[in-house]
Amino acid sequence: AEGELVQYHYGLKDLVTILFYIFIAITLHAVVQEYALDKINRRLHLSKVKHSKFNESGQLVAFHFTSVMWCLYVVVTEGYISNPRSLWENYPHVYLPFQVKFFYLCQLAYWLHALPELYFQKVRKEEIPRQLRCITLYLVHIAGAYLLNLTRLGLILLLLQYLAEFFFHMARLVYFTDENNEKLFNVWAVVFVVTRLFTLTLYILVIGFGLPRVESQALDPERGNFFSFLFNNILFRMSVLLLVCLFQASVMWRFIHFQLRRWREYWNEQSSRKRATAPSTKQQTKPLKRDSGYHENGVVKAENGTSPRTKKLKSP
C-alpha cells in the first residue's frame, strides 16, 4: 500500500544473495586492478614487496572510500546520528530497512571475496597470516552485528573503523609514490586516535547506559533478544566494559609504540643526514710538490746535497 514501510529480516536466502555479490566483488576487484593499479605500477617500477603492498592498499582505498560514503549516507538518512537513543531503543532491531540490510550483505560479500583473492593476487606466504586475521576479524564482527540484531551500533562502529583505515592506506599509497612524503601518516595518526576515543565512548554509552534500560529484559531468541537481560546485571555489564577498555588500551599502546619507533627512526635519519652534509672543520693541507732535490737559500740542490752544475755547450 502507498506509504507502507517495508522492512526485512535475515534468513537462509541471504547466503544466495551473498554468493551473487561475491562474484560482483571479484569482478570489480579485477577492474580496479587492471585499469588503475597496474597502470600506476608500471610507472613507479616498485619492488615485489612494495608492489604487493601497493595493490593491497589501492584496493582497500577504493573499498573504504565507497563504504564510508555509503555508511555515512545510511546513518544520516536513518537518523542514527541525529538521535543516538535509536542505537538501543526498541532493541532487538529484528526488522531492517532495505538499505541497512543491503549494506550488511555487501560487506559480508566483500570480505568473503577477499579469501579467494589471496590466491588470485598471488600474495606472499609471509603476508597471508596477517591478511587472514584481518579478514576473519571483519567477518566475525559484521556477521555478529547482523545476526545478533546490533546493526545500528555496528554501522557506527564500521564508519569509524573504515574512516581510519582509509587514511592509513591512502598514506601508504602516497608514501610508495614519494618516500619523502609522510604527511598523510600524521593525519592518519590524528584520525586514528579520535576514532578510538569515539569508539570507546560509544561502547560506554550503549552498553553502560542504553541496553540496561531496554523494556524487554527477558531472554527471547525467537524475537532476537540476546543481550538485554545480561546487561541488566551490573557485574556482567562492568566486566564487559572493562574488557572493552582493556582492548582499546592495548590497541592504543601498540599504536603509540609504533609512532615512537617511527619518530625515532625519522630523527636518527635526519641527524645522520646532517652529519653527512656538514663541512669538516679540519682543513686538509695539500702537500707541496717538489722538484727532484730540495731548495736551500733559493738554490735548487740535488738529493745528495751538491748543487746542480750547468752543462757547458761545446762549440761545433
pLDDT (tens digit, 9 = 90+) per residue, 36-46? 898 888 888 88
> Which band of pLDDT confidence, cut at 50, 70 and 90, is reported for residue 2?
low
pLDDT (tens digit, 9 = 90+) per residue, 267-281? 887 788 788 876 654
Q: Which residues, other chains included, contact 281 with Cβ-Cβ below 8 Å and sequence gap of 6+?
A: none
**Whether pLDDT at 85 is above 70:** yes
* Residue 193, number of CB atoms within 10 A of its CB: 15
pLDDT (tens digit, 9 = 90+) per residue, 196-221? 999 999 988 888 787 777 766 566 66
Considering Cα of 130, then 134, then 139, then 145, what sign does the dihedral take?
positive
φ/ψ of 301, rounded to 5, equals: -115, 155
Max mean pLDDT among 1-15, 65-79, 83-97, 243-257 falls in 65-79
| pTM of the predicted protein model | 0.80
Q: What pLDDT was estimated at residue 103?
A: 97
Asked which of 5-19, 91-105, 128-142, 169-183 is least confident by mean pLDDT, the reply is 169-183
Beta bridge partners of 299: 296
- Average pLDDT score over the chain: 83
φ/ψ of 172, rounded to 5, equals: -65, -40
Q: What pLDDT was estimated at residue 182?
A: 78
Placement of cell 636518527 in the chain: 268
> Which band of pLDDT confidence, cut at 50, 70 and 90, is reported for residue 282?
very low
**Whether pLDDT at 64 is above 60:** yes
